[in-house]
Amino acid sequence: MSQILTFLGKGGTGRTTVAIAAAKKLAAQGQRVLFATQDASPATGLMLGLTLSADPQSIAPNLTGVQFQSTVLMERAWNELKTQEAKYLRSPFLKGVYGQELGILPGMDTALALNTLREYDASGQYDTIIYDGDGSQTTLRMLGMPEIASWYARRFRTVFTDSDFYRAVSPFIQPVAAAVLNVNWSGDLFSQPEAQEATGLLEQGKAAVANPQRVRAYLVTTGDEGAIATAKYLWGSAQQVNLTITGVIANQVQDSSPIAAAFAPLDVSPIPNYSGQDWQPLIDALPDLGAPPVAPRPMSVNVAEKKVALFLPGFDKSQVTLTQYGPEVTVEVGDQRHNLALPTALKGKQITGAKFQDGYLIISF
């Protein structure tokens, strides 16, 4: 397994430059590094001194680079889907559709990128994967996809199995499956090995994002007020997907003390401007990319006091919406919704109060 490291911040703050410097730094330390960019333009390749392609290629000792090209990733994913279809269906119906025909719809890019990151992670070839995405809410939604997808699967499975429709058709599921599928499905549709495997992949993805030893991010900002505000917004939004923000990289800043005050308790690392010639000053100024995070975890639970504390820096009470329509508690902040994964002792219990204090949303049950 690899550690996945990404950088968040406003466009123009130097995220890609920092990502390349981080890849070079870790490779020089002996780590096997994959630099993966979703920038389809040639700009990143120019900074690296070569043209990146959809297949990993060596850049320097211990450093490999790849450019995520959505059309190529779509073809590969579609071919894999057709392989799985032929494995399970007696009469495959996708064989007449070819990946080269498929266009990319909005949102497909990030889903394909996440799956590709998972594959590179599982390959065992890399110690660290540097993901150079767009560094915005899109990246956060991508990393939050396993948790969101698992919620949809769990919630709608319950709704479906409790419905009169399911009760009516359940006696026919096994004979229909036997007629259509190459495998013998009997009993609960959702307890089959194939369904359990899909659920397991989502749970693995959730666990990885929530583990700072597996996935972590740095904020990148300049001294510009808009860049600082955007970084703070992304810091709070990252908590909604359980992503750990490890520190702040202040690019082209003469005095970093205002940034340190704005992002306490995160460590702030000032870095010099990259001149386009020598990477070493920038590499030397980067923080220890393997250091343990100093910021609080996104969520902490006190079962004895029946309280849950959510760390939401950069937001205030007016920007947070808390609802409990069903059995789960939903927090909406930073244009994202997060259904809290509560321990068994608190599941299904009603909220008795909530307050916003020192950057924390404290919920009582």
Q: Measure the CA dihedral 129/130/132/135, to 10°.
A: 110
Determine whether 22 is exposed, middle or buried from the number of CB atoms within 10 Å of its CB (0-12, 13-18, 19+).
Answer: buried
Q: What is the pLDDT of residue 66?
A: 97
Return d(Cα 332, Cα 16) in angstroms, integer. 30
Instruction: Collapse the DSSP code of 326 into the 3-class scheme (helix H, G, I; strand E, B; otherwise coil) and give the result.
Output: coil
Q: Give the per-residue pLDDT at 146.
A: 92
Q: Please state the φ and ψ torsions of residue 174, each to the nearest 5 degrees.
A: -65, -50
Domain 3-73+101-148+207-285 has CATH 3.40.50.300: yes
d(Cα 114, Cα 107) in Å, to the nearest integer?
11
Direct distance between the N- and C-terminal alpha carbons of the chain, in angstroms, rounded to an integer: 38
Span 37-66, pLDDT tens digits: 998 888 898 899 899 999 999 999 999 999
d(CA 293, CA 213): 9
pLDDT, residue 180, reads 65
Region(s) of the chain under CATH 3.40.50.300: 3-73+101-148+207-285
Q: How do residues 130-187 score in pLDDT, each as one tens digit?
A: 999 999 999 999 999 998 998 888 888 888 888 888 778 777 666 766 666 666 666 6
3-class DSSP assignment, residue 316: coil
pLDDT at 153: 85
Res 287: pLDDT: 95
- Report the alpha-carbon distance of residue 246 to residue 359 in Å, rounded: 17
Q: Which two tokens stand for residue 344?
A: 């068994």
Question: Splitting the chain (365 residues) into consecutive groups of 10 residues, what average pLDDT does each group show?
Answer: 95 95 97 95 89 94 96 92 81 83 90 94 96 94 91 83 80 68 62 68 88 94 95 93 94 91 93 88 94 83 92 88 84 87 86 89 93
Number of helices and strands in the chain (H, E) = 11, 15
Whether residue 265 is preceded by a cis peptide bond, meaning omega within 30 degrees of 0, is yes
- According to the model, what pLDDT value does residue 189 have? 58
SS3 106: coil
Cα–Cα distance, 346 to 349 (Å, whole number): 6
The hierarchical CATH code for the domain 299-364 is 2.60.40.790
DSSP state of 241: T
Residues listed for the chain:
365
Taking alpha carbons only, the member of 362, 331, 365 closest to residue 348 is 365
Delimiting residues of CATH 2.60.40.790 domain(s) in the chain: 299-364
Half-sphere exposure of 90 (CA within 13 A, CB side): 9
